[in-house]
């Protein structure tokens, strides 16, 4: 029932429309017009004002034809990562790819296009369905900000399906918590050639700490990563400031807290070993810290109604489907933390966040078929 050429053309139009985080206005206007044309009730919330963006979340409701069918929220995000301006999608050999100079934007415009096509098909073919609510969110790529500012109490749906993963043969039901942090290592500047012994190298303190940190794959549930984004001003000056950014993710909050504490301790220990004495005065390295829980882990149960619904749709279509655990975060983490069961379904996106990104059209169409079948089954 899905019009494959229509949804392919639409996703390519979305890809050509720039929508970096906090700059989703043009895509939002496009979606508002499209949703209203099909008879949906549409509004834009004030999330954009809250985060300093060009638009808020686009929220819509397609009234149901079956009053007894429970409403369902469908979600994808509108924003993309850089380099994401001037995207030129190329269609070839059953896929849409980037031209190699930018990302493609299949993350997550493929999800947006699937939702729009499913709604169009429900209307065009007069298919039975309950209320379908939609949230096209902003700023997912920079901290899930749109979802965090979305007022779920204003929606009727108590369950959601998030379209923001690679494979439509996998339904994500578990994802980790994540802490994001910034540490600033403060040392003491000195001339690197004439008086290095009077300085404290912030780079050395950072290097010693990073070398001792638990990084990468820590166990099956836990990962961490750090980068140095700033350090030093000139090669002839002992660097007095280094900025370290990083994250820790885990499906076990106790493990996450332990790794975070270890990272903090290694920095403090490295700083405590770095000091100089000049003219009877002791100067020491010190650490400045900012750390926050970016999102909370999600764990949707296998027997949740929305999980059973998607699995039933897959069975009805005779396509493979399994539930899986992933290591990334999405708007689904926020919805689940607010009490709304929300698994994640894949749309065919591949090699996301790179200039080699591409969209598998077979998976893209399969995702739309699954979502459409789930909605009609819910009405039955």
Which of the residues are catalytic? 79, 140
Q: What is the 3-state secondary structure (H, E, C) of 35-46?
A: HHHCCCEEEECC
Contact 370/163 with Cβ under 8 angstroms?
no
Take residue 370 and report the two structure tokens written for it.
């699954």
| Cα 119 to Cα 61: distance, rounded to the nearest angstrom | 10
Give the DSSP letter of residue 299.
E
| Cα 352 to Cα 350: distance, rounded to the nearest angstrom | 5
Q: Which helix (H) or strand (E) holds 99?
A: none
Give the torsion sign (CA, 213, 216, 222, 226): positive
* Beta strand extents in the chain (DSSP E only): 41-44, 58-62, 72-77, 90-92, 95-97, 132-137, 160-163, 170-175, 177-186, 216-219, 222-231, 241-250, 275-278, 281-284, 286-295, 298-299, 322-325, 344-345, 349-350, 358-360
Take residue 262 and report the two structure tokens written for it.
């270890």
Give the DSSP letter of residue 152.
G
| Cα 32 to Cα 5: distance, rounded to the nearest angstrom | 21
Q: Which residues pair with 75 in a beta bridge?
A: 135, 162
Q: What is the number of alpha carbons within 13 Å of residue 126 lying toward its C-beta?
A: 0
Phi, psi of 159 (to 5 degrees): -135, 155
Strands 58-62 and 72-77: unpaired
Q: 49 by DSSP, 3-state: which?
A: helix
């Amino acid at each position: 029932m899905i019009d494959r050429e229509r949804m392919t053309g639409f996703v390519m139009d979305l890809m050509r429309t720039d929508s970096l985080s906090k700059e989703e206005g043009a895509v939002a206007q496009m979606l508002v017009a499209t949703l209203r044309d099909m008879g949906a009730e549409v509004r834009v919330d004030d999330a954009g004002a809250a985060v300093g963006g060009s638009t808020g979340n686009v929220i819509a409701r397609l009234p149901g034809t079956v009053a007894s069918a429970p409403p369902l929220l469908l979600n994808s995000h509108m924003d993309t990562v850089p380099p994401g301006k001037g995207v030129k999608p190329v269609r070839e050999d059953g896929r849409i790819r980037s031209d190699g100079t930018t990302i493609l934007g299949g993350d997550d415009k493929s999800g947006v296009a699937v939702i729009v096509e499913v709604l169009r098909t429900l209307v065009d073919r007069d298919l039975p369905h309950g209320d379908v609510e939609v949230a096209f969110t902003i700023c997912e790529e920079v901290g899930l900000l749109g979802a965090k500012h979305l007022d779920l109490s204003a929606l009727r749906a108590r369950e959601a399906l998030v379209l923001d993963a690679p494979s439509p043969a996998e339904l994500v039901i578990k994802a980790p918590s994540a802490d994001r942090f910034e540490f600033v290592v403060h040392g003491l500047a000195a001339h690197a050639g004439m008086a290095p012994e009077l300085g404290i190298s912030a780079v050395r303190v950072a290097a010693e700490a990073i070398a001792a940190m638990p990084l990468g794959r820590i166990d099956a549930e836990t990962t961490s990563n750090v980068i140095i984004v700033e350090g030093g001003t000139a090669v002839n000056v002992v660097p007095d400031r280094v900025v370290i950014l990083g994250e820790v993710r885990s499906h076990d909050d106790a493990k996450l807290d332990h790794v975070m504490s270890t990272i903090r301790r290694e920095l403090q220990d490295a700083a405590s070993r770095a000091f100089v004495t000049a003219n009877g005065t002791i100067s020491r390295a010190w650490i400045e810290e900012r750390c926050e829980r970016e999102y909370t882990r999600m764990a949707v149960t296998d027997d949740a109604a929305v999980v059973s619904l998607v699995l039933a749709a897959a069975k009805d279509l005779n396509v493979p489907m399994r539930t899986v655990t992933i290591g990334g975060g999405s708007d689904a983490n926020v919805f689940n933390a607010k009490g709304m069961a929300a698994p994640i379904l894949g749309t065919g996106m591949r090699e996301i966040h790179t200039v080699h990104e591409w969209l598998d059209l077979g998976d893209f169409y399969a995702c739309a078929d699954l979502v459409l079948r789930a909605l009609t089954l819910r009405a039955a």
